Copies of this chain bind each other. A is one copy, B any other.
Amino acid sequence: MNDMTPIKTTPKDWETDQEVRWCPGCGDYAILKAVQRTMPEIGGTPENTVFVSGIGCSSRFPYYMETYGFHTIHGRAPAVATGVKLANPDLDVWVISGDGDALSIGGNHTMHMLRRNLDCQFLLFNNEIYGLTKGQYSPTSREGTRSPSTPFGSVDHPTKPCAFALGAGARFVARAIDVSKQLVDVLKSAHAHKGTAFVEIFQNCIVYNADVFAGFTEKANRDHQLWLENGKPMLFAGDTKGIALDVASLSLKVVDVVDGNWEAAGVLVHDVTNRTVAHMLVEMPFGEFPMALGVLYDDPRPTFDSAVFEQNAAVTKGKLPNLQKLISTGQTWTVDA
């Protein structure tokens, strides 16, 4: 995020005149709407906002935001965004990427952006598939995923985006669902966080990977969503279940909560700054556990850009550029006429 005197805008102000070209029913539409609803609420100004993306269906996003935008090349959005932010720190930088773009070809740049903690919002549209190239499996695809490149099912273990982010040093990790109403709030928290805010959004690719998230996104399965809130107990399934700690094995477990008495059940209270719990939450195997959603971890530390500018200020303090002098130093001598 960055500090600008907020101005009044409406979601409409953030829409471009460009025809949106995703498949009818694609989850990307919902995310686009959510972002366009978020911008006015955070008091963003369109001309001071930049959306940077890589390549993929998701990465078409910038064309639809009435801001500055850069649709770059596959996997490199974090690196381009780093240059944008360092060259122009007043800009509010949003990076849009897909599971292939951010975690396959772009994994290294994602890792280093998180490590350095560049101040920006990183939205990962995770549909567990390569949409734009017509449906090959991706690093987030579950084992056994049949796709044009894995006709007999994929055999490699999928990566857990949020676990990867924590391992890379992320200081803000959140999860949401393309169509979930909470998405706007998650995006606002991401924007409020100074540093790289990593947001994994489960996005339904209706054409090549329809309903992979149905296990917790479908109306019938809402009970499998664990929405986390800082300072609040980790309750789900209409507060009839909660997450507690098994101290012996130092692992999480699901406990029943009888008539709301969650303390008795030993349900954990969510502390967004607890890294250990964050590790456990992002690694909870779904099925046996619910899907942890919302802000999983949020513990700011100095951003890369601020550190760079502080050093620049300190180093250049009182130094005046004098090119003529600069090139005239070193091993010099004078030849007289």
Contacts and interface: CB of A to CB of B under 8 A. Distances in A.
A245 interface: yes
A155 B108 CA distance: 19
Given A111-B107, A249-B274, A168 B157 contact: no
Interface string A253-274: 0000000000000000000001
Q: A-side binding surface: helix, strand, loop or mixed? A: helix
Contact of A251 (B107, B276, B304, B308): B276
A337 interface: no
Given A152-B311, A167-B164, A311-B153, A274 B250 contact: yes
A210 interface: no
Interface in A195-229: none
A232 interface: no
Contacts of A85: none
A97 interface: no
Contact of A159 (B157, B168, B251, B279): B168
Interface stretch (A18-26, A30-38, A112-120, A128-136): A112-120
A44 interface: no
B275 A283 contact: yes
B115 A156 contact: yes
A181 interface: no
Contacts of A112: 104, 107, 139
B139 A157 contact: no
A178 to B, nearest CB: 25
B304 A155 contact: yes
Among A112, A153, A310, the one with the most B-chain Cβ atoms within 10 Å of its Cβ is A112
Given A249-B274, A276-B250, A169 B152 contact: no
Contacts of A105: 108
A315 B277 CA distance: 42
A305 to B, nearest CB: 10
Nearest to A302: B157
A115 B164 CA distance: 10
A96 B160 CA distance: 26
Interface of A: 104-108, 111-112, 115-117, 139, 152-153, 155-160, 163-169, 245, 247, 249-251, 274-277, 279-280, 283, 301, 304, 307-308, 310-311, 314-315
Given A107-B112, A152-B314, A275-B283, 8 more contacts: A111-B159, A115-B159, A155-B307, A155-B310, A163-B167, A165-B167, A166-B167, A167-B167
Closest 9 interchain pairs by CB?
A167-B167, A155-B307, A108-B108, A107-B108, A250-B276, A116-B156, A279-B279, A164-B167, A115-B159
